[in-house]
Structures are given as C-alpha cells and as structure tokens.
A and B are shown apart, each in its own frame.
Chain A
Amino acid sequence: VAATEKTEQADGNTSTPSPLSALMSAALALPILAIPTKATALENAAIGYRILEYREGDGRMKVREPLLWAKGSLGQFDFAASGMVDLVSGASPQFVSNERGTPIHTLSGASIRDRRNAAEVKVAHRFEGWSLGVSRNVSFENDYTSRALGVEVKADFAEKNTTLQASFGRNNDEISSFDDATLHERRRTREFLVGVTQVIDARSIVQSNLQFTRGKGYFNDPYRFTTTFFPDTPPITVLDTRPGERKQTAWLTRYRRTLSDIQGVLALDYRYYTDDWGIRSHTFGAAYTRTIAEGWKITPGLRYYSQTQADFYRTLLPQSLRGTRDVPSSSDQRLAAFGGLQPSITVTHTLANGATIDLMVSSYRQRASWKLGGDGSDPLATFSARSVMAGITWPFGN
C-alpha cells in the first residue's frame, strides 16, 4: 500500500565512498605497517566472493549484497579483509495508522533506493599460546555512517582443548535524514564479549559466548511515525521515539558434532537475548551437513526465532501522548512480539584444487502467533522473505 507521494532517492554516488575507499579507510586505521616485510611464505591464504539476493514479500524491499574477501597468514600474523556493497530498493513500512479501522502498515512507496558501502580489516598476531587481534569496520550510507574498532585476545589451554576469548568493540555511528536536513545525531556503542571454546571429545566441540552491549545516543528511526484517529477528537501523530540508551545481553552457545558413520556433521546453536527495552529473545538453529558424493555436500537447516515486544511498542496511540515529543513510542514491527521460521538448504561442491562453491536457498517468515508460548503482538502485515546466497572460495599459497 502506497499512501504517500514522498520519494526518497539516493543513488549513493555523490557522497558515499566507494568500497575500495572504504577498505582503505578501514585498513589505514590498523597497524598494518607493523607486519614484517621480509620474505615470508604466505600460508592458509584464500580469496572469496559471496553474493546475497534478498527479496521480501508483498513487493517490499529487495537487497543485493556482493562481498569480496581475502585472508591469509604471514609469519606470525593473520589477516583478513572484506569489502561489500549493499544495494537496497523497494518499499519499507513507514507509518502505522488506524485510518481504515484496525492499525495497518503503510509503505513508503516503490521508489526508495539506497546504497551502502562497507569494509572490514582484521590483523592478528600469534604469540606462544595466545593471540592479539585488532579490527576496523567502516560503513557509509548517505544518511548513516558507522565506524567501529575491535580488539580481541584469545588464549589456548590444555593442549588447545580449551580456548578462552575476550574482546571489546567500540562503534561510533552518525545518523542523518533525507526528511530532515537539520538532523545530525550520534550513537556510541561499547561491546564486551567473553567466550570459551571447548573440545569435548574427538568428535564434538562447543563454544559459549557472552556479550554485553551498551549504547547511548540516537536510536530513533527518523523515517517512521504512528498516527491514530479518534471518533471525537483530532488524530495524533507521533514520530518514532525510543530511549536514548540501550543495554543488551546476548548469550550464544554453539555445538558441532561429527557423525562419521554417515559422513555427517550436526550443528546446533542457541542464543538467549535480553535488553532493557523489555525485549527477550530465543534463537534456535539446527543444521546437518552430509556428504552425498565425492566433493558434494548438502546441508538442510532450520532456524527458529522468538522475541517479546519492547515496552514502548504500540500501534495505537493513547490520548495521553497528545502533544508529547519525548515519550518513547514506536510501531516498528521489529520491536513487536513475534516468532520467525527460516528453513534453508545449502549445496557445497569442492573442486580438485580445493576451491569450493556453495549455494544456499532459504525462506523466512514471521508471524505473531509463532512467538514462543504464543501471545504475540497484534498482527500487522505478516512478513516473509526469500533469499539466495552463493559463494566461491579459492585457496592459494602454502
């Protein structure tokens, strides 16, 4: 439904740095010059290309994301770099109103186009039994810029049966808006992660990570608003308004086990998430990789996601919000209570030289009634999307 004539167009060619510029920007922030330049054999090196084609149902967003990456080891240094482009087009839910009775999403029209260029560089130095790594991420859109730094320490124990990890990340984001030329806001985020990876036996391994994220600044969606009509009084319109702070905790545990008798690998993931906006979430993932022929593997997978709604999520505004500006209120469906299911299937082919080609097809659906325990938010337009992801990895060096 396109109930607005407003058109947002951003071809991204005027002020968004190119992926190469983004990559250089990321690389220059790291001490790459510290890598010894004397002749050292390149080991475990590979380059790869991956592309994601993502399409939402009901004529909503279409996304194409090509990504080029490289990694390798030089002496005691490990490095990795990637550059990607995010091409977005289509219509995005912009406001919710009850003009026709029950609250419904209204899309922004079919003319939104946006482009994001992003790059990442990682460098790590291996010492005896431990390693220290630093990373730099940059992301440029016409109305959003993000710069992030990461520091990671890993230490091996018990003949490398146990690996402990601690990392810190700092994100500095700048937000502007096509709708409001005066909007220039910032958000600062700090992330802390501790984790352990443990070999259980010769066929199974488990990893458990605990991450704390603390963000301060502008969390609003500057393009989104809510309008509620009343029978006897004028309607109320409130811009998307969220708290200026967010504290998030995520606990991710992943398990892998080889089932050698049938040449298969089982992968099980679970993540518990909670934040001070009132959202709690459970994510379950299961995948099973099986060799079906020489050089060919197939991986069916299923992901289930469930979340409760944010304390300030509402699709109908109460009269008490009339005239207010700073009371948190959002009708963003991503803050609603719902469940999501994503079945997928991946086929991987390994060539004689070790190069691999893979193709993943998946379908993602969200329903209010699929929330864990039921009782989701009042259903707005149900969400569905299909995606195809293809990649090639080409190893080289020693």
Chain B
Amino acid sequence: MNVKRSVVALAIAGCALLSGCANVKAFERGHLSQPEMQFDADFSATKLSQQMYAAKEAASGGYTTGGGGCGCN
C-alpha cells in the first residue's frame, strides 16, 4: 500500500510541478549551469557522505541504484 501511495503522491507532485513551470531556453540557463545548481555534481562527496550516513542510520536510498553494500559497523 505504501508503494501505491508513494507512486500516486509522486505523480500528483510531478503533474503540479510540470504544469507550473516555464519553458527555459538554452541561452537562458546561465544560472542553472553553476556547479552548485547540479545534483550530485561532485559524486565523490555524495558517495562518501551517504556511506557515512548508511553506517549510522537505518534509512537510505533515493539517490541512485546499484551502489553496492558494505559491512559497515
């Protein structure tokens, strides 16, 4: 049931997002091209940080798939 609820919620949020967004042309994307505007621009920092959290917290996920596991204690 949680999966179904999550999919519905994501679909609703996605539709709301898409309907309210402007169509930004390529030449208007100067601000968007800044490094800090990229998601996981520096994957090495994300990788080390997420690994640290995974060793100390029960929750994980949402960033990528196929990342592998470890016996972190």
The verdict on A271 contacting chain B, using a C-beta distance below 8 Å, is yes
The verdict on A252 contacting chain B, using a C-beta distance below 8 Å, is yes
The verdict on A268 contacting chain B, using a C-beta distance below 8 Å, is no
Considering only residues 20-73 of chain B, those with a C-beta below 8 Å from chain A are 20-26, 28-32, 34, 36-39, 42-45, 47-49, 51-53, 56-71, 73
Number of A interface residues at 8 Å Cβ cutoff, please give it.
Answer: 108
**Contact in complex: A202, B32 (CB < 8 Å):** yes
Q: Which residue of B lies closest to A144 (CB)?
A: B71
Binding site for B on A (CB under 8 A): 48, 50, 52, 54, 61, 63, 65, 67, 69, 80, 82, 84, 86, 92, 116, 118, 120, 135-139, 141, 143-144, 146-152, 158-162, 167-171, 173, 175, 187, 189, 191-194, 196-203, 205-213, 221, 223, 248-254, 256, 258, 260, 265, 267, 271, 273-275, 277, 279, 281, 283, 289, 297, 299, 305, 307, 310, 334-335, 340, 358, 360, 364, 366, 383, 385, 387, 389, 391, 393
CB of A247, distance to nearest CB on chain B (Å) = 8
**Contact in complex: B65, A391 (CB < 8 Å):** no
**Contact in complex: A252, B31 (CB < 8 Å):** no
Cβ proximity bits B1-14 to A, threshold 8 Å, 1 near / 0 not: 01100110110011
**Contact in complex: B65, A211 (CB < 8 Å):** yes
Q: Give the complex CA separation of A69 and B24 in angstroms.
A: 33
**Contact in complex: A69, B59 (CB < 8 Å):** no
CB of A338, distance to nearest CB on chain B (Å) = 9
CB of B2, distance to nearest CB on chain A (Å) = 6
Q: Give the complex CA separation of A334 and B47 in angstroms.
A: 20
Which of B25, B39, B59, B66 has its CB near the most chain A CB atoms (within 10 A)?
B66
A contact residues around B10 at 8 Å (CB): 194, 208, 210, 251
**Contact in complex: B17, A198 (CB < 8 Å):** yes
Which of A141, A167, A334 has its CB near the most chain B CB atoms (within 10 A)?
A334
Given A52-B48, A144-B71: 10 more A-B contacts, CB < 8 Å = A50-B48, A52-B52, A150-B65, A151-B66, A167-B65, A198-B18, A199-B21, A248-B61, A251-B10, A297-B36
Assuming A118-B68, A210-B10, is B44 touching A201 (CB within 8 A)?
no
**Contact in complex: A211, B61 (CB < 8 Å):** yes
B contact residues around A151 at 8 Å (CB): 66
**Contact in complex: A152, B65 (CB < 8 Å):** yes
**Contact in complex: A189, B61 (CB < 8 Å):** no
Q: Which residue of B lies closest to A383 (CB)?
A: B56
**Contact in complex: A249, B34 (CB < 8 Å):** no
Partner of B67, one of A148, A299, A305: A148
**Contact in complex: A149, B66 (CB < 8 Å):** yes
CB of B70, distance to nearest CB on chain A (Å) = 5
**Contact in complex: A250, B34 (CB < 8 Å):** no
